[in-house]
Amino acid sequence: MDTERLYSEYVNTSFVKGIEPVVVDHALGATIHGADGEEYVDLFAGISVVNAGHSNPKIIAAAKAQLERVVHAASYIYHVPLVAQLARRLAQITPGRLQKTFFGNSGAEAVEGAMRLAKAYTGRGEFIALQASFHGRTSATLSVTGNAARKTHGGPYLPGVAFAPAPNPYRCRFCTGCCTLACADAVEDVFKYQTSGDVAAFIAEPVMGEGGIIVPHPGYFRRVKQVLDAHDVLFVADEVQSGFGRTGAMFAIEHYGVEPDIIAMAKGIANGFPLGAFIAPPEITDSFRPGEHLSTVGGNPVACAASLATIEVLHDDRLVERSAELGAWCKSRLEEMARQHEIIGDVRGVGLMIGIELVLDCATKQPAAAEAATVRRLCREQCVLLGVGGQDGNVVRIQPPLVIERAQLERALDVLDDALRSVAETRSVGAS
C-alpha cells in the first residue's frame, strides 16, 4: 500500500485539512527530496524546527555516537553527563540569571511545566496570556492559548486565565498612527478587571508564531514587565518557536532587552530530535519539591547530544547572524513585492521568521484565507514548501532552515511572486 493511502487509513492527522501531497524520502540542508524524485525548497523547516538544516552532519554524528552508548537511562534518577552539560550550555546562552533547566519532550510539555513551576514558586494559580497566542495542545496550554479555532472540542478549559490584547501593530485596536503602547498598558486593566489578584505569571511568545508572525513593538515587553513587577508576577517567555536563532538572536526576547523569569523552549533546541525544556533562576526552579515534576524520557541522552551539537553548529556556522542578515534581505525583497501585489496587506518579521499577511482589501484588511491556501498550493506545485497560518489562516509563513542558500531563497521568492500574480489574475478575471 502506498504511503498516502496508509496515512489516510491509519494515521490520525487532524491538523491540516487534506495533508500536503508530498511524500518525504530524505532531506538535506533546506531541500526536501520527495519520493516522486522532486526536490522541494523547504521554507518551513518542519514548522520552524530544523534551524541548523536537515540532516546536519555534525548533529547526526553526535546523535549516532550517543546511540551507541546509551539511548535512555532515566535522566531524573541517575546522573547522565550529557544532560548536565546541556543544562550548563543553556544557562550560558539564555539571558540574565536563567540557570537551571527541566527537560521534557515537546513544546507543550515545556510550557505546561513552566506554568506549574510558576504556580509552585508564587503559590498563586492564575495566568494572563495574549489573544492570538498559541502555547500547545495539552489542556493547560490550550487554556492559555488565545485562539478559539485551536481550542475546539477541548473545553471546558482551566479557570483563572485572562487574555490581554494581542500586540499586533497591523491590526491595532488602540492607536492610529503613532504607537503609544496602549496594548501594553492594557495588561494593567486585565489585572484590574479580570483577575482575582492571584496571578502567578504572564505568558507570551516574544514573536507570535501561530498567530501569524506578530512582532510586538520594540517597547512592548519593557512596558509590560513594569506592570508585572508592580504586581510581583512572573514573566514566562514561550520561545518554543522563536528560539535558537530563528529571529536573528539566540532568543527573540533579546530584541526587547527584558529578562524573563522562565523561558520555555523546544522545536529548534535539538534540530528535530524530540526535546523540550524550561529554564529559570535557582530560587524559582528549586520551588519544585522532590517528586513533584518528572518526565520519563525527558532529557533523553540522544536528544541532548543532538541539542548540544545543534547549539555548537548555530555558533560555529554563525547561523544566528545569518538568520538576521538573510532575514533582512528577504523582508526587503518581500516589501518590494508588496508594492506590486495589492493582496499583500503586511510584511513583517525578524530574522528568518517572516509573515506575509494577505488581505482582500488593503483598506478593510479583510483576511484572504482562500487566497493564502492557493498561494501555498501553487508554490508547492513549483516545488517550494511554505507555511500558512495566522488567526484567520491568511498569513504566508517563511521560516526556512537558517542554512538556506541565498540563491535557493531567491528562487523560492520568485515562485512566490508568480503565485501571488496568478492569484491576483484569477481574482480580477472573477471580478470582471
**Candidate list 29, 46, 104, 107; residue touching ligand PLP; CB under 6 A:** 107
355 binds ligand PLP (CB under 6 A): no
Question: For residues 188 and 152, is the Cβ–Cβ distance under 8 A?
Answer: no
Candidates 46, 113, 206, 209; binder of ligand PLP (CB under 6 A) is 209
Decide: is 126 part of the binding site for ligand PLP (CB under 6 A). no
User: 341: how many CB neighbours lie within 10 A of its CB?
Assistant: 17
Under the binding rule (CB under 6 A), the answer on residue 135 touching ligand PLP is yes
Q: Tell me the C-alpha distance between 199 and 163, whole Å.
A: 12
First to last CA, the chain: 46
Whole-number minimum distance, CB 134 to ligand PLP, in Å?
5
Distance CA 316, CA 310 (A): 10
Q: Work out how close the CB of 273 gets to ligand PLP at its nearest, in angstroms, rounded to a whole number.
A: 12
Stretch that binds ligand PLP, among 113-121, 133-141, 281-289, 389-397 (CB under 6 A): 133-141
Determine if 112 is a binding residue for ligand PLP (CB under 6 A). Answer: no
Cβ contact 32:59 at 8 Å = no
> Residues 80, 86, 111, 262: which binds ligand PLP (CB under 6 A)?
111
Of the ranges 70-78, 107-115, 309-317, 367-375, which one interacts with ligand PLP (CB under 6 A)?
A: 107-115
- Cβ distance to ligand PLP smaller for residue 15 or 78: 15
Rounded Cα–Cα distance for residues 77 and 225 (Å)? 37
Q: Does the protein bind ligand PLP through residue 205 (CB under 6 A)?
A: yes
Strand ranges of the sheet holding 161-164, from the earlier edge strand across to the other edge: 100-104, 276-280, 262-265, 234-238, 199-204, 126-130, 161-164
- Give the CB-nearest residue to ligand PLP: 107
> How many positions of this chain bind ligand PLP (CB under 6 A)?
15
C-alpha count within 13 angstroms, C-beta hemisphere, residue 40:
31
Q: Could you say which residues in the range 54-93 bind ligand PLP, by CB under 6 A?
A: none
Residue (191 or 244) nearer to ligand PLP, CB: 244
Which position among 134, 221, 251, 278 is part of the footprint of ligand PLP (CB under 6 A)? 134
Q: Shortest gap between Cβ of 170 and ligand PLP (angstroms)?
A: 19
Choose between 126 and 238: whose C-beta lies nearer to ligand PLP: 238
CB of 62 closer than 8 Å to CB of 305: yes
Candidates 8-16, 130-138, 164-172, 332-340: pick the segment binding ligand PLP (CB under 6 A). 130-138
Greatest CA separation for the chain: 71
Q: Where are the beta strands (DSSP E) in 351-413?
A: 353-358, 384-385, 387-389, 395-398
Q: Which of residues 249-278 bind ligand PLP (CB under 6 A)?
A: 266
Binding mask 147-176 for ligand PLP (x = CB under 6 A): ------------------------------
| Contact pattern for ligand PLP over residues 20 through 59, marking x by CB under 6 A | ---------------------------x------------
Contacts of 431 (CB under 8 A, 6+ apart): none
| CB of 146 vs ligand PLP, minimal distance in Å | 12
Per-residue DSSP letter, 268: G
Tell me phi and psi for residue 315, to 5 degrees. -75, -55
Nearer to ligand PLP, 107 or 165 (CB): 107
What whole-number distance in Å separates Cα of residue 157 and Cα of residue 385? 34
SS3 369: helix
Task: Determine if 240 is a binding residue for ligand PLP (CB under 6 A).
Answer: yes
**Cell numbers found for residue 108:** 507543550
- Strands 344-350 and 24-28, sheet pairing: unpaired
Cis, peptide link before residue 156, omega less than 30° from 0: yes
Minimum distance of ligand PLP from residue 362's CB (angstroms):
28
Q: Which is nearer to ligand PLP, 255 or 420 (CB)?
A: 255
Q: Per the structure block, which three cell numbers stand in for 354?
A: 517572516
Binding site for ligand PLP (CB under 6 A): 47, 106-108, 111, 134-136, 205, 209-210, 238, 240-241, 266
